Amino acid sequence: MTAALTPIASLPACDNASLQQIIAGATTPLVFKQQCKHWPLVQAGLQSAMAAADYLRQFYQGEPVTACLLPAEHNGRIFYNDQCNGFNFQAGKIDFNQFLDRLLALAAEDASTLYMGSTEIERWFSGLANDNSIALQGITPLTSVWIGNQSRIAAHYDFPHNLACNVVGSRTFTLFPPEQISNLYPGPMEFAPGGQDISMVDFDQPDLQQFPRFSKALAAAQSATLEPGDVLFIPSMWWHHVKAHTPFNVLISHWWRDTPAYLGRPNNALLMSVLSLRSLPKAQRQAWKAIFEHYIFEHDDVSQQHIPADAQAMLTKPITELQARQLRADLLNKLKR
């Protein structure tokens, strides 16, 4: 990317309660400069990569981690193979200490890309989050750690909100609002390098003949390069491309959703729609679009007062856990027919 992108709004560090109050009403990305600089892992990383690695080792619980190795010729871009029927990297299980040894050795060679993707802290590194995470009142986020060298993670979106804490090294995040999906040219839905649909555009060398609308996405993009101690708030559903610059880098992410888990994953509704709606004639799809607008996307402006309260059932907002379970059971029964 050569065009100058809009910088993500930046705020000074604050206490966790103030941070939570700010992001509670935020619908766009925010950077909190040096928010977690006091963390022991950040301080270890400022000493050296070896010091950061040694700090991490003490929390390892012994269960092998999943690591990915990418040949040097791909310049750190985690992506598909040429046929899009597989990936351009090899993934496998490895002892974490061996992973760190190999990563530190690669720092001297400056060759292949090696990284450990999202790995749940409490399961693999119990105790690490005690002094190296952000406490959120009333929220129990899924806290994960990413470790690697230079890499490029294709633009993708996540349903949960994310507080991404850049702990060791530096990385650049490029973010796009959800409505830019068509201009980002998402790839296959069936599988993706990280499990979530990704943009097919190479951000380092965008081919605007093959992907002409990508220039429109860039016009809407926001970007920030995070230094050790910086924290980025990524709102739900915002596309984000991540480029790690340094030979040893660590990111700690906090993911959470606004609604209870019993309501299910919205992606399941998308897959059901692909199955039952996508192949309909356009006129019928437009009819269903109006129905979805009424019941789902614009229901805030739709009154249900014409229906007796006791008869509203699944139209109750929000539905209860019991109603959700009944609806799920009804769906499962209908899918069997």
CB 263 within 8 A of CB 319: yes
* 272/113 Cα distance (integer angstroms): 37
Residue pointed to by tokens 């190795």: 69
In this predicted structure, the answer to whether residue 312 has a pLDDT above a threshold of 90 is no
pTM of the model: 0.94
Domain range summary for the chain, segments of one domain joined by +? 6-258, 262-335
DSSP 198: B
% of the chain surpassing 90 pLDDT? 79
* 259/75 Cα distance (integer angstroms): 39
- List residues bridging with 233 in a β-sheet: 30, 163
In this predicted structure, the answer to whether residue 126 has a pLDDT above a threshold of 60 is yes
Q: What is the pLDDT of residues 236-271, one digit of tens each?
A: 999 999 999 999 999 999 999 999 898 999 999 999
**Mean local confidence (pLDDT), 125-133:** 97
- List residues bridging with 78 in a β-sheet: 153
| CATH no., domain 6-258 | 2.60.120.10
CB 11 within 8 A of CB 231: no
In this predicted structure, the answer to whether residue 1 has a pLDDT above a threshold of 70 is no
Q: The tokens of 4 are what? A: 């100058």
Peptide bond into 318 cis (omega under 30): yes
In this predicted structure, the answer to whether residue 2 has a pLDDT above a threshold of 60 is no
Q: What is the pLDDT of residues 20-69, one digit of tens each?
A: 999 998 999 999 999 999 999 999 999 999 999 999 999 999 999 999 99
In this predicted structure, the answer to whether residue 178 has a pLDDT above a threshold of 60 is yes
For CA atoms 47, 50, 53, 55, the dihedral sign is negative
* 288/277 Cα distance (integer angstroms): 8
The backbone torsions φ and ψ at residue 259, rounded to the nearest 5 degrees and listed phi first, read -115, 155
Round the average pLDDT of the chain to a whole number and report it: 93
Q: What is the pLDDT of residues 266-307, one digit of tens each?
A: 999 999 999 999 999 999 999 999 999 998 898 877 777 787
Strands in 113-120's sheet, in edge-to-edge order, are: 10-12, 30-33, 231-234, 161-168, 249-256, 142-148, 113-120, 65-70, 90-94
50: nearest Cα among 105, 116, 111: 105
CB 102 within 8 A of CB 111: no
For residue 110, what pLDDT is reported? 65
Contacts of the segment 204-208: beta carbons below 8 A, 24+ positions apart: 204/1, 204/75, 204/77, 204/152, 206/1
